């Protein structure tokens, strides 16, 4: 059976490679594909393995979207974005 898991924090192909390698080590996982831009991990495995896969992803720093860990990650990203924007505005107004 094939299904997708939407996750936070996938930033590049290096992340995708790490995810593929880690999930492929789990018995019963036939195939793993990662959509970096979409934040999706497509898995060919029994649906019963889903909780184990979600846990493995969270432990790697890729929590499922909508989970408690995922919500924390989204909040951290938002804080980082705001901090970056404030820093840029400060540089523009103070000529740094």
Query: For the domain that residue 8 is a member of, what is the CATH number?
Result: 3.30.70.100
The pTM score is 0.72
Q: Which segments of the chain does DSSP mark as H helices, in order?
A: 13-24, 50-60, 68-94
Residues 44 and 29: beta-carbon distance below 8 Å: yes
51 pLDDT higher than 90: yes
pLDDT at 41: 97
Q: Give the angle subtended at the CA of 35 by the CAs of 14 and 2, to the nearest 5°.
A: 120
If pLDDT is split at 50, 70 and 90, which confidence band does 13 have?
confident
Give residue-wise pLDDT tens across range 58-95. Answer: 888 888 988 766 566 665 455 434 433 444 565 566 65
44 pLDDT higher than 70: yes
Into how many domains does the chain fold? 1
Domain range holding 53? 2-94
Average pLDDT over residues 10-29: 91
Using CA atoms, how far apart are residues 59 and 40, in angstroms rounded to an integer?
16
């Amino acid at each position: 059976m094939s299904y997708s898991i939407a996750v936070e924090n996938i930033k590049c192909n290096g992340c995708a490679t790490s995810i593929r390698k880690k999930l492929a080590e789990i018995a019963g996982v036939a195939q793993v594909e990662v959509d970096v831009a979409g934040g999706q991990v497509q898995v060919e495995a029994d649906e019963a393995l889903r909780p184990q896969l979600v846990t493995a992803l969270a432990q790697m720093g890729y929590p499922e979207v909508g989970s408690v860990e995922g919500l924390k990650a989204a909040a951290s990203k938002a804080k980082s974005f705001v901090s970056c924007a404030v820093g840029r505005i400060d540089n523009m107004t103070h000529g740094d």
